[in-house]
Amino acid sequence: MDIGVTKIEMEVGVMDRRVKCKNLIGVLIAFIIAILSESSICPNTVYQKAFLCMLALVGIIYTMFFCKDKSEKKIIYTVFLFALPFIFASLYTFVYGCINGDPLGVRFQAFTTSMYIVIDILVVIGIFFVWKYESIKIISNAIIFSYGITVTVGIVKYGIRNLWLYITARNMYPDWYFSGTFERHDVGVAVVPLILFFSCEIISKKEWKNVEYWIRILLLLAILFLCGKRSAYIGLLSGILLLVVYMLVKNKKNILSYIIIGISLSASFLYVYLIKSGTLQNMFEILNINSMGRLTVYNWFSNQYKLSFFYFGKGFQYIHKYMISGLGSELVNKFGYLHNSILQIYIEMGFIGFWIWLGIWMVLNPVVVKKIIGKSTARFYICLMVSMLAICTVDNVITYPLFQICMYMAVLQHSYEEKDDLYIKDVF
């Protein structure tokens, strides 16, 4: 009897050590991502990309050799669908370049950008394969650690007093150089899908007393506030609104999803029309909204595209290559990116390509997710996509690695939880 107990205790001890070791490695992974994502420490993103490629190898190994369960394979293959718009764009750009020439090297830029999206997906798969339901916490830790480093560096450089001034009086100093110290573009928007995920967890599982989730949400909200990304505010409000609407609507949730998808598609094209016609600029002037130079950059490209069925685009990533080649004004070239992914997709992919891209995002993917995974994840995916589209109106988050990783991880973890029946499906 004593021997049996001893063996059981030894096995439990070994398991505990393995769990502790795995958790420690998870913290280390989060800390490395945090360091490599902090521009004051690693201004060159090549190190971040290299480390993400290493993590992606885990995803490749898992997908090729360890993913045996049929339902699990379906989920993994569904996540790869998120890269489909980029692969389509890359192929289209290749064909377009072969026909019209490619003096700016847009084809290569389109290919590398698309491949990095695939790498982001593989990173998510690799991390989830190892840490399962702790994965979203590892990613959120990385975001929290990263901004913790940002604040620490800022305090060391400027002191607590100036941090307080930044928090309380930054609106009085729109061009104040302290904002460059505390504002982080990728981290500032990456918090949005994480906040939406933890909020969805609380709503779906009715875990209103889950202290850990509330602490994480509060920390992520603090990062959101300190970064001051207005696009992130818009995205979060859009996502939270849809989560609440889905929670309140007891019946006809499918009809609600169709309405949301239809409005999202129509609003995206309407937004391009408002920019092209100059209506958006008039609205900003009337409301006295500071676009931070964005409208000037949008208008620079107004003579390069048409609102016509026969407009075929310039090729994916054309605008970025145009800017870094110095072909625009000083302001345009300084931007580097259009800071408007919706208009970018239209200019680069053309009228038909624009609708195909959005169709994959807002029609094909939700249908596939609903069929293979379930209604709850499909609705959560729609909330995330609408949130991302809202951010895309004034930002270029479709190429932000941390934002993409957070979004894919949120969908993947939600998928596994619904598969394992961890969600109260009649709530969301």
pLDDT tens-digit readout, 63-117: 988 888 888 888 898 999 999 999 999 999 999 999 999 999 999 999 999 999 9
Q: Which two structure tokens, joined as six digits, stand for 88?
A: 């389509």
pLDDT at 61 over 80: yes
Report the mean per-residue pLDDT for the chain: 89
At 158 the pLDDT is 80
Return all residues near 288 (Cβ < 8 A) that are at least 6 apart: none
At 261 the pLDDT is 97
Alpha carbon distance 84, 342 (integer Å)? 17
At 217 the pLDDT is 96
Output the pTM of the full model.
0.92
Would the CA dihedral through 20, 26, 31, 36 be positive or negative? Answer: positive
Q: Which two structure tokens, joined as six digits, stand for 97?
A: 């370049």
What burial class does residue 233 get, using C-beta atoms within 10 Å of its C-beta: 0-12 exposed, 13-18 middle, 19+ buried? middle
At 173 the pLDDT is 56
User: What is the tens place of the pLDDT at every residue in 246-291?
Assistant: 989 888 899 999 999 999 999 999 999 999 999 999 999 898 888 8
pLDDT at 427 over 70: no
The answer to whether residues 365 and 257 touch, using CB atoms and an 8 Å cutoff, is no
User: What is the tens place of the pLDDT at every residue in 215-230?
Assistant: 999 999 999 999 888 8
The answer to whether residues 112 and 119 touch, using CB atoms and an 8 Å cutoff, is no
Angle at 228 between CA 227 and CA 230, to 5 degrees: 130
SS3 of residue 413 by DSSP: helix
Alpha carbon distance 339, 332 (integer Å)? 11
At 407 the pLDDT is 96
pLDDT at 49 over 80: yes
Helix (DSSP H) and strand (DSSP E) numbers for the chain: 19, 0
User: What is the tens place of the pLDDT at every residue in 159-189?
Assistant: 887 778 777 766 665 555 555 778 888 999 9
